[in-house]
Structure 1
Amino acid sequence: MRETIRRFVHIASAMLPFRLLRSGKLPVLLPFYHLVSNDELPYRMNYHYPSVATFESDLDFLLQHYKPVGLDELLSGKSLTKAFHLSFDDGLRECYDVVAPILKRKGVPATFFVNPAFVDNQDLFHRYKVSEIAALLKEKNIHISLQNTYADLDSLDELAADLGLNWHELMSERQPYMTTPEIRSLQQDGFTIGGHSMDHPEFWLLDEESQLEEIRESMAWINQTFAPQIKAFAFPFSDVGVPDCVFEACHEERLFDVSFGTAGLKRERMECHFQRVPMETDQPATAAKRLKAEYLAFQLKRLINRHYAKRH
């Protein structure tokens, strides 16, 4: 049923003009990516990332219809219906090598959310490990199903060792993440640096105290290393499974000034918590197609909620 609705939204949105879909009072647009590359990266089997040409086309579309803003303006309380703030997750090297030069050339501010455990190529995200193991199994013509959650990390490391896959050697050779000096250089160029948990677990698998520790430790590292003027945190994967008491504790301890989920266009009841729009999907799509589908889904939900409210 959900897949049927998703297909309908994509088909219907393609036939409607963008200006119509974007009408009315809407949440601020917060698109986010992970990387931009023309290369096929073996550890990125999870979803499609844009080529340089596609990303530049996406940016041109966004700049045609919106004003780019920084985190300071996002928190200003002004109406930002016609604005967007761009962000990138995981701190991958392409953010420094490919993305930042494009953003600087086009004058687009952005926030880069990083995981301290991965910075300087100390370790690899568990789902990227799954991608590397799957590629090696395919080469060896071994057919087994792999679990891909944070809870499976120990077993994934054991399997990698059995297959002769040395994470330290792989990280040293490929250098998939940015280094601390590179991230500091981004900050000096005017970009914002934020926390993204220590090592990117699915928060719905963690208890409340473990969720808080991930936030505390990652933000402590961000503050100590970069001392950002605005303390920003993006929940890895999503904020699903994060209870109100965790948000309340974060505000009481002043762990961050602003936080982000990944639920797409959505109004949030919590102050200084925003939802971002994933721009990389299981199928390649331009920014225009992706956003048209997002706006149509938002408008349909709003109509359904209004109808439900009138009946009750």
Structure 2
Amino acid sequence: MSVLSKLISFAATPFPMSMLRAGKDIPVLLPFYHLVSDRKHPFHFNYEYPSVKRFKEDLDFLLKNFEPISLEELLKGRDLKNKFHLSFDDGLRECHEVVAPILKEKGVPASFFVNPAFVDNSDIFHRYKAAVLNAIFQKQGVQSELQRTYADLLSLDQMAEDIGLNWDEYLEKESPYMSLDQLKELQEDGFSIGAHSWDHPEFWLLDEERQLDEVRESMEWVVANLNPSVRAFAFPFTDFGVSDEVFNSIEQERLCDITFGTAGVKNEPLANHFQRVPMERGGVKSARQLLKTEYFSYQLKRIMNRHIAKRA
């Protein structure tokens, strides 16, 4: 957590949640995670995911202060004040094994956004490859500063080959992702499944046509394999660098019913496009701390007229 974030978090502490979220234009709360686990996950270099205990405490805090809604209710957009919709990215198997049972127990609807390239453990997200390599190098006492963008994928694969790491064997052994059958089980249990791009690139590295291809191909896969009642797409990393022209094409081609960015609690000028709140931040120990900080920051930005999401 940065010094500024710590100061904002400290300043927000004495205020009740009801005061921090006050205001007629406060956006609907859309928290998201990647995984929940009590083990040291192979991909742990990427974010500080919650333990099962903390996740349950987070849910209890959310349920005390907000009302959970489904993706269908979010799309309808009626009376969203003090509501929340939970989501999870990347399709990791802990979502099926750990997260879903907890959500069912507490009666919380949620959406799971997946990358078709990784379903059934067919491949691995480039930043997760970097995390696995980092872990190996650490065990060997080697200091490494791996590049982790989509543009570095070939170099990561070459590095794995150089040290004798076979990704197919790793996937077969670890099975980090959900299978299509598991996704269908989640859907049968009432959860929503959406797309998260084909193979999780940083969209700001792609031209407009490549960006559209990522949306088209991943949404086509989700529709063909799961036929969801709401066609939802969550931009990987963020929607930064996605132009109005791309959004217009998504709407004109009717690729999605609803889309998401990750700018936190911010007002969004585009129709049926919403900003989510990342819940796995370094140094943050609870949803209470994170969301108080998030809403306090929103109120400050609102005073300065900086509370509206921008993509450039």
What's the TM-score bracket when you normalise by the shorter of the two chains? over 0.9
Q: Which runs of 5+ in 2 are unaligned?
A: 307-312
Quote how far apart the aligned CAs of 1:228 are.
0.6
Quote how far apart the aligned CAs of 1:24 are.
1.5
Distance 1:244 1:272 in 2: 14
Distance 2:3 2:91 in 1: 34
Letter in 2 for 1:184: K
Letter in 2 for 1:204: W
Alignment partner, residue 309 of structure 2? none
Which stretch shifts more, 133-142 or 293-302? 133-142
Distance 2:144 2:292 in 1: 39
Distance 1:30 1:48 in 2: 18
Contact 2:17-2:65 at 8 Å conserved across structures: no
SS at match of 2:304: helix
Alignment partner, residue 127 of structure 2? 127
Q: Tell me if 1:279 matches 2:287.
A: no
Distance 2:66 2:303 in 1: 25
Distance 1:143 1:3 in 2: 24
Contact 1:137-1:143 at 8 Å conserved across structures: yes
Alignment partner, residue 11 of structure 2? 12
Alignment partner, residue 236 of structure 2? 236
Distance 1:227 1:42 in 2: 32
Contact 1:47-1:283 at 8 Å conserved across structures: no
Distance 1:11 1:284 in 2: 12
Letter in 2 for 1:287: A
Quote how far apart the aligned CAs of 1:4 are.
4.0
Distance 2:151 2:215 in 1: 18
The two structures, once aligned, show a CA RMSD in angstroms of: 1.3
Alignment partner, residue 111 of structure 2? 111
Distance 1:250 1:232 in 2: 12
| 1:24-35 correspondence to structure 2 within 5 Å | 24-25=23-24, 26-35=26-35
Q: Tell me if 1:157 matches 2:157.
A: yes
Q: Tell me if 1:49 matches 2:25.
A: no
Q: Tell me if 1:202 matches 2:202.
A: yes
Distance 1:77 1:31 in 2: 17
Quote how far apart the aligned CAs of 1:305 are.
1.7
Letter in 1 for 2:240: V
| 1:255-294 correspondence to structure 2 within 5 Å | 255-294=255-294
SS at match of 2:154: helix
Quote how far apart the aligned CAs of 1:81 are.
1.2
Distance 2:66 2:16 in 1: 16
Give the length in aligned residue pairs.
Answer: 305
Q: TM-score, normalised by structure 1?
A: 0.95
Contact 2:203-2:240 at 8 Å conserved across structures: yes
Distance 2:77 2:42 in 1: 42
Quote how far apart the aligned CAs of 1:304 are.
1.3
Alignment partner, residue 248 of structure 1? 248
Alignment partner, residue 21 of structure 2? 22
Distance 1:194 1:63 in 2: 24
Quote how far apart the aligned CAs of 1:5 are.
2.9
SS at match of 2:211: helix
Contact 2:261-2:275 at 8 Å conserved across structures: yes
Q: Which runs of 5+ in 1 are unaligned?
A: 307-312
